[in-house]
Chains A and B, each alone.
Chain A
Amino acid sequence: MRKSLEGDQLAYANLLRETARLLRPFLSKRLSFESEIDDLLQEILISIHKARHTYDGKRPYKPWVYAIAKFRLQDYLRAHYADQLRHSVELSELENILHEDVTESTISYESISGEIQKLPEKQAAILQLMHEEGYTAKEVAAKLGMNESAVKVAAHRAYKVLRKKLEQS
């Protein structure tokens, strides 16, 4: 690190590569998806770059790096859980949906197929299977490797979006 602070680009590149190697297992234990790990690792490396003036070479390097990594990980997890909360469904709402027969709808699939294609891929696929091909929620769940409740929730969300769009138009 001392060399890299002096502007040695090769030493700096090696240091960052070693740091990435060091941090990958640390992040793998805490995150499930490889893409998440890569994204966060990049963010941590950028943070290390931004904060490199706060390391003077007189203290051990690892505690400094891990402090930054933990800080970015906490930030990431906080944002991740906040996002999940925003998109969560109220339990009471869920109870209502689970009893609904989501395969029956007063809107014909053909009339709104254009709007359906604009939905997220999974939701569009669920609606297509249910309303164009006539599968039940249970069958769709088995086909897509999801559970039945998740299919119903996804369908319900898609209906909500479609309803809003139809009301606007």
Chain B
Amino acid sequence: MNDINQLVEMLATDASPVRPAPSAFMLSFKLMGAAAAYLAVSLAISGMRPDLIEKLHSPWFAAEIALLILIFASTSLSVALLGFPDLHQNPGATYAPAAVFLVFLAVIFFAWIADTPPAPLPMHSFQCTLGIMMVSILPAMWTFYALRQYASTHHRLAGSIALLSSFSVGALWLRLHELNDSVIHLIQWHYLPMLGIGLLGIGLGKVLLKW
């Protein structure tokens, strides 16, 4: 008990005024704003697919892009909430990406069914995964950096969602850039690796978000 009292005295002496961290919503807006700007610059440099306007009239492509944006937005909000020990007392929004992912999987499944005759497979394969990874590294770095300024009590989940959020930026970029509509290729080289990276984030979160 004496030790506790001594510690309390010590911590109180050390207690200089502290500015509360920006709210989770502000942090998520910042993350989304930075990623949107980064995506715009990446697309300006790499160029958009030439048939983008035409493709946006295809309901499955439009739904896929809309859901990728929704995944990015929901994971950004989730990451921001996970930065707070108590999830900013908003567990519903924290776990919202799971629901968005399920809808996304359903859309991909129906797009696959609707893909008759199947679009031809592109000549390349793993290059897409590499491209997504390259574009996602920077968003992943700043998301982890931002998270480290907070105090996550769910560091494994936070790491996983942070990587999913960054990789959704990369996936979005490639989908708007690459002239390719093979659903099999998308599943194999875009979205399955994205899920794998999400799993990798569990370990990364454990190491990088310790406090």
What B residues does A112 contact at CB under 8 A? Answer: none
Per DSSP, chain B at the interface is loop
Q: Give chain A's interface secondary structure class.
A: helix
The answer on a CB contact under 8 Å between A51 and B20 is no
Q: How many angstroms between the C-alpha atoms of A5 and B11 in the bound complex? A: 13
Closest chain A residue to B5 by CB distance? A17
Size of the chain A interface, CB-CB below 8 angstroms: 35
How many angstroms between the C-alpha atoms of A7 and B1 in the bound complex? 25
Q: Chain A residues near B150: list those with CB within 8 A.
A: 51, 54
Q: Which 7 A-B pairs have the closest CB atoms?
A: A51-B151, A7-B17, A71-B153, A13-B12, A56-B20, A67-B86, A67-B85
Find out whether the CB atom of A63 lies under 8 angstroms from the CB atom of B11: no
Within A49-65, the residues touching B (CB, 8 Å) are: 49-57, 59-60, 63-64
When distances are taken between beta carbons in the complex, the residues of chain B under 8 Å from A68 are: 85, 151, 153
Asked if A16 and B12 make an inter-chain contact with CB atoms under 8 angstroms apart, the answer reads yes
B residues near A, CB below 8 A? 1, 3-5, 7-9, 11-21, 23, 83-89, 150-151, 153, 211
Would you call A63 and B3 a contact (CB within 8 A)?
no
Residue of A nearest to B2 (CB): A38
A127 at the interface (CB under 8 A from B): no
> From residue B128, how far is it (CB to closest CB) to chain A in Å?
38
- The verdict on A52 contacting B18 (CB below 8 Å), with A17-B8, A41-B4, A42-B3 known, is yes
A9 on the interface (CB 8 Å rule)? yes
- Evaluate contact between A54 and B7: CB separation under 8 angstroms: no
Cβ–Cβ < 8 Å partners of A38 in chain B:
1, 3-4
Q: How far is the CA of A45 from the CA of B6 in the complex (A)?
A: 12
Residues of A within 8 A of B (CB): 4-7, 9-10, 12-13, 16-17, 20, 38, 41-42, 45-47, 49-57, 59-60, 63-64, 66-68, 70-71
A12→B12 contact, CB < 8 A: yes
**Complex CA–CA separation, A42 to B150 (angstroms):** 20
Residue contact B9 to A13, C-beta cutoff 8 Å: yes
**Do residues A9 and B12 form an inter-chain contact, with CB atoms below 8 A?**
yes
Q: How far is the CA of A42 from the CA of B83 in the complex (A)?
A: 23
Beta-carbon contact of A45 and B8 below 8 Å: yes
Identity of the chain A residue whose Cβ is nearest the Cβ of B85 in the assembled complex: A67
Q: Please indicate the chain B residues that have their CB under 8 angstroms from the CB of A54 in the complex.
A: 20-21, 83-85, 150-151
Whether A6 contacts B17 in the complex (CB less than 8 A), given A59-B89, A63-B89, comes out as yes
Question: Would A49 and B14 count as touching, CB distance under 8 A?
Answer: yes
Q: How far is the CA of A71 from the CA of B151 in the complex (A)?
A: 11
Structural contact, B18 and A5, CB atoms closer than 8 A: yes
Q: Is the CB–CB distance between A53 and B88 below 8 Å?
A: no
A59 and B1 within 8 A (CB): no
Report the separation of the CA atoms of residues A41 and B1 in the bound assembly, to the nearest whole angstrom. 10
Q: Which residues of B contact A66 (CB under 8 A)?
A: 86
9 contacts between A and B (CB under 8 A): A5-B18, A6-B17, A7-B16, A7-B18, A47-B211, A51-B211, A52-B18, A56-B20, A63-B89
CB nearest neighbor in B for A4: B15
**For A55, what are the chain B residues with a Cβ–Cβ distance below 8 Å?**
20
Cβ A42 vs Cβ B86 within 8 A: no
State whether B153 touches A67 (Cβ < 8 A).
yes
- Shortest Cβ distance from A17 into chain B, in angstroms? 6
Residues from chain B with a CB closer than 8 A to the CB of A52 are 18
Chain B residues positioned under 8 Å from A9 (CB to CB): 12-13, 15
Q: In the assembled complex, how far is the CB of residue A21 from the closest CB belonging to chain B, in whole angstroms?
A: 10
> How many Å lie between the Cα of A66 and that of B86 in the bound state?
8
